[in-house]
Structure 1
Amino acid sequence: MTSSATKAPEVIKFTKMHGIGNDYIYINCMESMPDRLPELAIEMSDRHFGVGGDGIVLICPSEVADFKMRMFNNDGSEARMCGNASRCIAKYVHDHHLTDLSRISLETLSGIKVLSLNMSSDGEVGSVTVDMGEPELTAKAVPVISGTERMIEQEVPTSAGPVKVTAVSMGNPHGVIFVDRIEDVDFDRLGPELERHPIWPDRANIEFLQVISPAEARMRVWERGTGETLACGTGACASAVAAVLTGRCDRRLTIHLRGGDLIIEWAPGGHVMMTGTAAEVFEGSYHRQR
C-alpha cells in the first residue's frame, strides 16, 4: 500500500490576477472545487513558499446569478466581498470564454453585484464598472459599537491618541480616517490596532484618506485579515461615501491608491459605482501536498 507521505500532490490550476495591485490567485471551480479552503489560502498566498497573493478567489457556478465568488484572505479567513476581485472575475470569465455577456451578475456573500465590462481595442476587457450597491451607514448594520445611530467622525482612542473614525459598510465593515498628509500617518501601528479595535465586533478594514480636492483624494488601506494592500475597492467606495457625508468631496471622485486609480461615484439613486482596471499576470499549476 502507498502511504499518505508518498501520495502524488494535488495539482491545482490557477491564474494570478490583480486589480490595481490588489493581487489574488484565481481558481476556476466551475466543475470542481478544492477542499480545506482556509488552509489552501494560507499555503498559496505565501509569497516565499507559495504562489504569493492577498488571498485566493474561487470562480463558481451559481443558482441565482451568472457566476459566484468565494474568497479567502491570506490568513485563511473568508471575506464577504472585494471590489477589485470582482473586476478580475469579470475579465477572467470573458477573456477565458466562459461567457460572452457584457453585463454579468455575480453572487457574493454580500449579495448579487452587477458588473459592466468595458472592452479594449484588442477585444479583451480593459476596465469594469461594478454596481457595489448602497452603503450601510447605521452602526448596527456596519457593524460597529457606537453611542449614536451613525458613526461619523467619532473619536476612537488608540495608543497614538484619539482618531476620528467614520464607519461605513460596503458589504464589509470599514473605518475611514481623514488625514492632512498620508505620509505622516503611523500606518503600521494604527492599521492593525484599529482593525482589531473593540468597537468592531467582526474587525474592520481601515482607510486613511487625504482629500486633494472635491473630485480627488489619496488613500492607503489596511485590510482585515490581510494587512496592507496596494488597493481596496470596497475601501475606496466607503471612503468616497465618508467624504461625501462629511462635506469634503463631490459624489464622483478619483481615488489614488498605491496600486493605481479608481473612479467612484455615489449615484443619486444611492448605489455606489466603481470603475477600474483588471489585469491577468500569469497562469500556473500549484502542487499541493496531500
Structure 2
Amino acid sequence: MTLRFHKMHGLGNDFVVVDGREAPVAIDGALARAMADRHRGIGCDQLILIEESPHADVAMRIFNADGSEVSACGNATRCVAQLIGGEATISTAAGLLHASRTEGGISVDMGEPRFGWEDIPLAFAMHSAGLPLAWETLEKPWAINVGNPHVVFFVEDCDAVPLERLGPLIEHDPVFPERINVNVATIVDRGHLRLRVWERGAGLTRACGTGACATGVIAMLQGLVDSPVTVSLPGGDLSIGWAKGESIRMTGPATHVFSGEAELAAFGA
C-alpha cells in the first residue's frame, strides 16, 4: 500500500502528517515508531493522523517518535489547521481545539489549564504549585495539565541546564505515572521568556507548543510576566495569552515543507 504524507513543522518541531480522510490507514505505535525513525524511516518528532470526526472539522491523533500516543500537541494543531485551510475545529483526546488564521500565523484556543494533582496526574495527592521534589539543581517545579502534563522550572539560564540528562530522569520518575514533559525557562522581562523543553516520548525538541502554554501560564500565575508573553524556543517564538478562568491562546507559524509517498511495506507494515 502506498501512503501519502506531508512533512510539516512548527518552529522546527517536525511532523509526518497522514490524512486518513483521503485513504483510511491503520496506524499503531509500532508503525508510527518506524516512520518517525530519522535513519530508517521518514523522520519526525511526532506522527500525526488526521481522521474524520462527527463533532469537528477533523480529528487528530498524535504519536510520539517512540510510538506512544498522546492527547495534545500545540505545534501539530497549528500544522493541521494550516494544512486543511487555516480555520478549523479539531477534535483531540484532550478535547476540541479551535484554530484560526492571524497575523502571527495560526492562533489556537488550547482550552483551560488544569492544576489538580489528579489532573496532571501525580502518583499521590500534593499541591501542584511548587512540588516538594528536586532533581539535582532543578527543584520545586509547578505542575500543570494543558491537554498533556508538564512541570515547569524557572532558572537563571535555561541553556546551562543539562536537560538531555535530567529530562529523561524527570520524565520517567514514578511520581508521574503517565510520564511528564519537562520545561526549563528563564525570564527575560515581563513580556518575554526563554524556554527549552524535554518532551516525553520525543526528547529535546526545537519547540513545544503545549510547553510554551504551560510555561506562560505558570509564569503569569507567579506574577513574573504579563499576558501575552513571547516565548522564545530554540526554533523560534510563540505568543501565549491567558487570564484566570479563560482558555489559553497560542499563536505562531506552521510550515508545510513537502508532500511525499512511501510504501508501508518499507516500515514493516
Cα RMSD over matched residues? 1.5
The structure with the larger Rg is 1
1:14 match: 5
1:72 match: 63
Output aligned runs, 1:26-41, within 5 Å. Answer: 26-41=17-32
Contact 1:67-1:107 at 8 Å conserved across structures? yes
Read off the aligned partner of 1:142 and give its amino acid letter.
I
Instruction: State TM-score, norm by structure 1.
Output: 0.88
1:155 aligns to 2:139 (yes or no): no
Q: Show CA shifts across 1:47-76 (max 9, x none).
A: 111111012101111000111101111101
Alpha-carbon deviation of 1:220? 0.2
Kindly report structure 1 stretches of 4+ aligned residues shifted beyond 3 Å. 145-148
Aligned with 1:192: secondary structure?
Answer: helix
Q: Show CA shifts across 1:104-130 (max 9, x none).
A: 2110000001101237xxxxxx71100
Unaligned runs of 5+ in 1: 1-9, 95-101, 120-125
Read off the aligned partner of 2:49 and give its amino acid letter.
L
How far apart in 2 are the matches of 1:58 and 1:144? 29
Alpha-carbon spacing, 1:66–1:36, altered in 2? closer, same or farther (3 Å) = closer
Alpha-carbon deviation of 1:43? 1.0
How far apart in 1 are the matches of 2:107 and 2:15? 19
Contact 1:267-1:273 at 8 Å conserved across structures? no
Alpha-carbon deviation of 1:193? 0.6
Read off the aligned partner of 2:20 and give its amino acid letter.
C
**2:216 pairs with one of 240, 257, 260:** 240
**1:138 pairs with one of 105, 113, 116:** 116
How far apart in 1 are the matches of 2:53 and 2:228? 32
How far apart in 2 are the matches of 1:206 and 1:64? 32
Aligned with 2:121: secondary structure?
Answer: coil
Read off the aligned partner of 2:254 and give its amino acid letter.
A
1:117 match: 101
How far apart in 2 are the matches of 1:198 and 1:214? 35
Aligned with 2:132: secondary structure?
Answer: strand
Contact 1:145-1:200 at 8 Å conserved across structures? yes
2:49 match: 58
How far apart in 2 are the matches of 1:117 and 1:32? 27
2:202 match: 226
1:186 aligns to 2:170 (yes or no): no
1:260 match: 236
Alpha-carbon spacing, 1:277–1:161, altered in 2? closer, same or farther (3 Å) = closer
Q: Show CA shifts across 1:59-107 (max 9, x none).
A: 111000111101111101001010100000011011xxxxxxx632110
Read off the aligned partner of 2:222 and give its amino acid letter.
T
Aligned with 2:84: secondary structure?
Answer: helix
Unaligned runs of 5+ in 2: none
How far apart in 2 are the matches of 1:21 and 1:103? 22
Q: How many residues align?
A: 266
Aligned with 1:154: secondary structure?
Answer: coil
Between 131-140 and 27-36, report the one with greater CA deviation.
27-36
Over the matched positions of the two proteins, sequence identity in percent amounts to 40
1:216 aligns to 2:192 (yes or no): yes
Output aligned runs, 1:91-130, within 5 Å. Answer: 91-94=82-85, 103-118=87-102, 127-130=105-108
1:86 aligns to 2:77 (yes or no): yes
Alpha-carbon spacing, 1:162–1:238, altered in 2? closer, same or farther (3 Å) = closer
Instruction: State TM-score, norm by structure 2.
Output: 0.94
1:169 aligns to 2:145 (yes or no): yes
